[in-house]
Structure 1
Amino acid sequence: MKIENYIQELLYRYDCVIVPEFGAFLTQRKSAQIHETTQAFYPPSKTIAFNRQLQQNDGLLANYIANAEKLSYTDALQRIKGFVIDLENTLTTDKKVVLDNIGGFLLTNETLEFEPSYHKNYLPEAFGLSSFTIEKEAIQEPLPQEEKTPKVVSLPQNNTSKAKTNIWKYAAVGVVAIGISGFLTANWYSQSIKNHNIAEQQKAEKLVEQKIQQATFVIDNPLPEITFTLKKPTGGYHIVAGAFRDEANALKKINQLKQKGYNAFKLGENKYGLHPVVYQSFNDRRSATNKLNQIKRSENPEAWLLIKQL
């Protein structure tokens, strides 16, 4: 299976799919819309964007390919590397490349531009929905009809007709009485249900309080308090080692950097669901740039500088 097919499958599940050494495909939810002019309805969807700067391998694509094709993690990385080499070669020669149902790339003046594809909706909740045009049906007015003058017939009044009139009066009174009775009964039933729900809710709250009281205990011999002194990172210039989707991998990277003597720490989770790891922070840009160049030459060419006040 092509690598772009695996990328498509991951775009259904994740908001960020990184292709190592190439870039990341990012998705953002878009609400349903109705075009004011054409009255076309567009279901909710995910819009696709591309970020050339996110090239650090987070293991998501490689692990997915390894599980799907029963390969080792190293072999999966080699498959991705070959895929990226083909992309770069095609962009160099043809200046453009298209990934099915993902989008196309155009290389102009050493700048890589991305145009997303709109043929597939990667929002699982909108599966099966498609755009359509709302047609307004014309309201047909009824044809004019000839007016007919009703004929008035006078009937002789007698005692029998008066009796029937009285009977209908009593029947109307009876219907009104039945209606009032039904209304009162419905109100009583509704109030009874409401009272029952309130009583059951109070019982449930009481039961929860009892459970909490039973679970409360006191430790007779508590352990002595331990005070930790944490050094808060300072400075507005931070050298980033990489961003990891799995927080456990981020913590492992921090331990490795600390063993090398760096004052490493983890930034909070960003909007893409990644956990950036920082070598160390600096107060001035010159020192941060000098250290960044040293790290790029010696151990990590993909390290970069983040300017942000923590």
Structure 2
Amino acid sequence: MIIQQYIQEVLFRQRVCVVPQLGTFSIQHFPAQYNASAQTLMPPRDQIIFSQSWQDDGSLLEWIGLKENLVPSVAQRKMEKYLEELKASLKDGKTLELAGIGKLQGDFTGNVHFYAEELPINPESLPISPIHRQPATPVAPEPPVSTEPLPLQELEPVMTEEEEDTLEAVTDNSIFSWWRAAAALAFLLGGLAIWYFVSRQAPRAETAETPDMPAHDTAATAVTPADSATIAATPVVSDSISYLIVIEAYKDSTTAAKKMARRKSWKQFELVLIKKDSLYSIALPVTSLPADTTARLDSTRSKYGTAHLKF
């Protein structure tokens, strides 16, 4: 039956699956345990638990509608049909196997017994032996090191006669180089001043000698059809737009809040809950180019099942 696959998908998707009129499957995590008497450590593990008490949260109905692309009313009738077949198969002590979960077996009193599926490899306990540390051998303290600074001795520079002559020559040459650099800078500034004066006088002379220009020829500047086609063919880049892609819409705020909380538990933190036109909608805010609107809608529909735009 297809309902067995739906139960498995919902259980491993959100770690709990409520089957109306039957019970609740859940995955319980057991942490690592240490056995002090045997000095062993059991690794952490997950185990599937079944309880005949149930409170319908709508997750199985929603999953059936999403997988078979059905509206909620049709999905409700389909789920009821699946559940009748499931309960009929458990009558008279028959066994129903759920792949990856375990086995269900009914009895003549109407009770359902669950046998969890055993893992192919059971994790073995890890032996842990105590560590005996040897006492540390005392180490003799080292003698203190003196931190007093040594007295400084003044040193006088020692220069030979050749070094003194070289220093005097370098000093004289440096003075001569400074005057030479100043002369070159003055020459450069003078050249710039002459160029600036000539460039200011040239436009005035051209303006004085320019004859009257004829009237503007409108025919010469008319736009040809080819130019118009070129201008029309120039693509216009539009700016990005912001809009909402609605995943679900409800008239009741309580139902919308429950659905939103469930999607947050599925780590769908990008969704928001909005109210517009007396409807409470769960939507995905998107900012993209207008040309990418259809692609973003298709990608959202493939991820969430149903989606439509709302600007």
TM-score bucket (shorter structure): 0.3 to 0.5
| Higher RCO (CA < 8 A, seq sep 6+) | 1
TM-score, normalisation: structure 2: 0.35
Structure 1 length normalisation: TM-score? 0.35
